[in-house]
Amino acid sequence: MAEQQKFKVVLPSWMTEDDIDAAADDIIQFIIDRSAEGQGIRGNGRRYRFPGYTDAYKKKKGSSKVDLVLNDEMLAEIQTLQRDGHELTIGFEAGKQNDKAEGNQIGSYGRDPNPSKARRFLGINKEELAAVLARFRDD
């Protein structure tokens, strides 16, 4: 059974309830868009380009561009799992899409984990979060 794929983010105290809900949606969309560009985020918060597909998978897919959206089922399942004041937990409910997400996050794809094949897409760094939140700031 796969470990639940999720991350936490704390939003600024000046945000209203409506702002928090909208920001959660914007963070999720940011992750989807960044993934479509073939980029993820390392544990240290730095962006990186996803490792390439294997030759066999490139042939099957018909493209070498890694974007995690061959079909959008997995990314469409990212959601706000919990909200506690200004702290959000974003990720996947248990199930097939969570299992796929884990395979991408740890590079296992149904086999043993291989960090060199991992496509860590779930998360947001400080700069990315600031860009997402900029539209909510009035002052």
Establish if 67 belongs to a structural domain. yes
Look at the chain and report how many structural domains it folds into.
1
The tens-digit pLDDT sequence of the chain (139 residues) is 789 999 999 999 999 999 999 999 999 999 999 998 989 999 889 999 988 777 777 777 666 666 566 567 899 999 999 999 999 999 999 999 999 999 999 999 888 999 988 999 999 999 999 999 999 976 5
Interhelix angle 126-133/17-36, nearest 10 degrees: 120
Establish if 37 belongs to a structural domain. yes
Establish if 16 belongs to a structural domain. yes
Establish if 28 belongs to a structural domain. yes
Range of the domain at 60: 6-136
Q: For residue 105, what pLDDT is reported?
A: 93
Establish if 1 belongs to a structural domain. no
Establish if 97 belongs to a structural domain. yes
CB 15 within 8 A of CB 131: no
Establish if 10 belongs to a structural domain. yes
Q: For residue 71, what pLDDT is reported?
A: 61
Q: For residue 53, what pLDDT is reported?
A: 74
Q: For residue 16, what pLDDT is reported?
A: 95
Write down the pTM of the prediction: 0.88
In sequence order, which residues have a C-beta less than 8 Å from that of residue 104 and are 6 or more positions away? 68, 74, 118, 119, 120, 121
Q: For residue 63, what pLDDT is reported?
A: 64
Establish if 115 belongs to a structural domain. yes
